[in-house]
Amino acid sequence: MSVLWGSIGHVRTAPTILHLDMDAFFAAAEQAAKPSLRGKPVIVGGLGPRGVVATASYEARRFGVHSAMPMAQARRLAPNAAFLVPRFSLYRSVSEQVMELLGRLSPLVEPLSLDEAFVDLEAGGAAHDAPSARATGERLRADIRTVTGLTGSVGLAGSKMIAKIASEQAKPDGLVLIDPGTERDLLGPMPVRTLPGVGPATGEHLRRAGMTTVADLAEAGEGRART
């Protein structure tokens, strides 16, 4: 096993680790709070000359707007979008509703931010195998939509790292379950940027080194391990 596959850590025999990532959270919360914004491009962030985009709704992303983009560039790409300053009191309120739903599933909830968390479904008895994990994940997504009016993407796997990758693959508004034992086959063809922690700079460095897929990176690690 390469350093890469080993870095996945302990993998359970059932996909009972859930990762939830709310979809375009700040912008979606604004759209839910103000119905006139629904279906329209919404961009949340600093509105000053040096402001950056915190979140762009999926409608705004169609124009090429994305998080961390300078706000001035976002205005050029989507001049007719609604540009809003963050309202953290609103986001915290919605986040509390989401975290309460997660707490009903398990005593072991690990929030990563206002809109993202891991949940140990096994600890709460909410799931013990793939079918029960999938059913729990779908029920959670439905409950979030009912309570908040927002959508969230769910990843289910046997480890945190793989669950997080699964939720990214599920976006937007979906669920992806990766059965333990299938990680290597599923992840191998994916771009290296799929891996948590591999940003643009690292991705470009790896590309120049001839490693564009997760399998390329794993093979390079195996080669070093053999030397």
The dihedral sign for the CA sequence 60, 62, 63, 68: positive
**Residue 58 and residue 24 in contact, taking contact as beta carbons nearer than 8 Å:** yes
Which residues are part of the catalytic machinery? 116
Q: How large is the angle between the packed helices 130-148 and 88-103, nearest 10 degrees?
A: 140
What pTM was estimated for this model as a whole? 0.86
40 token code pair: 């329209």
- Domain residue limits, the chain: 13-23+95-179, 26-84, 188-226
| Torsional class of 200: left (φ above 0), alpha (ψ -120 to 50), beta (otherwise) | alpha
Could you tell me which of 120, 113, 123, 185 has the C-alpha nearest to residue 159?
Answer: 120
The dihedral region occupied by 205, where left means phi > 0, alpha psi between -120 and 50, and beta the remainder, is alpha
What integer pLDDT is reported at residue 9 of this predicted model? 54
Annotate the chain with three-state secondary structure: CCHHHHCCCCCCCCCCEEEEEECCHHHHHHHHHCHHHCCCCEEEECCCCCCEEEEECHHHHCCCCCCCCEHHHHHHHCCCCEEECCCHHHHHHHHHHHHHHHHCCCCCEEEEECCEEEEECCCCCCCCCHHHHHHHHHHHHHHHHHHHCCCEEEEEECCHHHHHHHHHHHCCCCEEECCCCCHHHHHCCCEHHHCCCCCHHHHHHHHHCCCCEHHHHHHHHHHHHHC
pLDDT tens figures, 162-171 = 999 999 999 9
Contact 17, 160 (CB under 8 A): yes
pLDDT for the residue numbered 131 = 98
pLDDT at 171: 96
Q: Tell me the pLDDT tens digit for each residue of 69-78.
A: 999 999 999 9
- Say yes or no: domain 26-84 is CATH 3.40.1170.60: yes
Backbone φ and ψ of 78, nearest 5°: -135, 70
Residues of the chain with pLDDT under 50: 1-8, 225-227
Q: What is the per-residue pLDDT for 99?
A: 99
pLDDT for 3 equals 41
CATH number of the structural domain 13-23+95-179: 3.30.70.270
CA proximity to 127, closest of 116, 138, 115, 141: 138
Residue 197: the pLDDT is 76
pLDDT score, position 132: 98
